[in-house]
């Protein structure tokens, strides 16, 4: 696990199983190891090539946040399968009243007396795992017969499951943050919690619990 002064980041190298004409996703886990609220921002040297969700956010004290990095479909493979792309994760302590709308680029500018934590993340291409050309199953007479999955179908299934997992991680992290930020926002208002606010928070909490179990 890579460590900054404020955040632990896992992994420090994104390994994309390279395939032509196909979007590929990897996930990062950010762990706030402080007692402060942290605002973070993810930058890359090649913003047109990658989609980062979320690319900015707030991590609660002693909490984690999952970030999904998706590489856009590539039409050509690099001759040496080497990747020079890099990511930079910046974080800074902020107040408990900070919202996502308050996060700006100026927050992460380096100034005297201001601590901006930075963690660098490398990118690497790895060969895609190649399943057997056919999956065999036992027939009724004891012999082996070709199963219903070809290698293409198996790869499609693996890709779909990976995308579903990354999507669930992203939604789970987003809902956790939205629930907590909503609680803080409502708590600041006069008159305390309204009935509809409590119902909305309860529904979001149930949905978060469902995604975690899934």
Higher local confidence (pLDDT), 17 or 177: 17
- Domain of residue 199: give its range: 152-213
| Same domain, yes or no: 31 and 78 | yes
The pTM score is 0.64
Q: What is the pLDDT of residues 81-125, one digit of tens each?
A: 899 999 999 999 999 999 999 999 999 998 898 999 999 999 999
Which CATH number is 77's domain given? Answer: 2.60.40.10
User: 144 lies in a domain?
Assistant: no
Q: Which residue has the higher pLDDT, 172 or 29?
A: 29
Are residues 105 and 165 both part of a single domain? Answer: no
Question: Does 138 score more than 60 pLDDT?
Answer: no
SS3 string, the chain, reads CEECCCEEEECCEEEEEECECCCEEEEEEEEECCCCEEEEEEEECCCCCEEEECCEEEECCCCEEEEEEEECCECCCCCCCCCCCEEEEEEEEECCCCCHHHCCHHHHCCCCCCCCEEEEEEEEEEECCCCCCEEEEECCCCCEEEEEEEHHHHHHHHHHHHHHHHHHHHHHHHHHHHHHHHHHHHHHCCCCCCHHHHHHHHHHHHHHHHHHHC
Do 122 and 184 have their domain in common? no
Decide which of 78, 110, 126 is a domain's last residue.
Answer: 126
What total of structural domains would you count in the chain?
Answer: 2
Residue 142 within any structural domain of the chain = no
Residues 20 and 68 in one domain: yes
Provide the pLDDT confidence category of residue 136 given band limits of 50, 70 and 90.
very low
């Amino acid at each position: 696990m890579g460590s900054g002064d404020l955040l632990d980041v896992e992994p420090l190298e994104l390994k994309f199983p390279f395939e032509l004409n196909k979007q590929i996703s990897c996930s990062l886990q950010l762990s706030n190891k402080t007692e402060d609220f942290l605002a973070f921002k993810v930058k890359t040297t090649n913003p047109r090539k990658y989609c980062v969700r979320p690319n900015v956010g707030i991590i609660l004290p002693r909490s984690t946040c999952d970030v999904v990095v998706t590489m856009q479909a590539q039409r050509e493979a690099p001759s040496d399968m080497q990747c020079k792309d890099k990511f930079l994760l910046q974080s800074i302590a902020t107040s408990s009243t900070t919202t996502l709308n308050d996060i700006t680029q100026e927050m992460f500018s380096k100034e005297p007396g201001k601590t901006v934590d930075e963690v660098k993340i490398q990118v690497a291409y790895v060969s895609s795992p190649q399943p057997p050309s056919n999956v065999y199953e036992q027939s009724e007479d004891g012999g082996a017969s070709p199963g219903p999955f070809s290698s293409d179908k198996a790869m499609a299934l693996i890709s779909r499951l990976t995308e579903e997992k990354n999507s669930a991680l992203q939604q789970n992290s987003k809902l956790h943050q939205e629930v907590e930020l909503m609680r803080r926002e409502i708590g600041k208002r006069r008159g305390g919690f309204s009935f509809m606010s409590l119902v909305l928070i309860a529904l979001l909490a149930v949905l978060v619990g469902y995604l975690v179990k899934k």
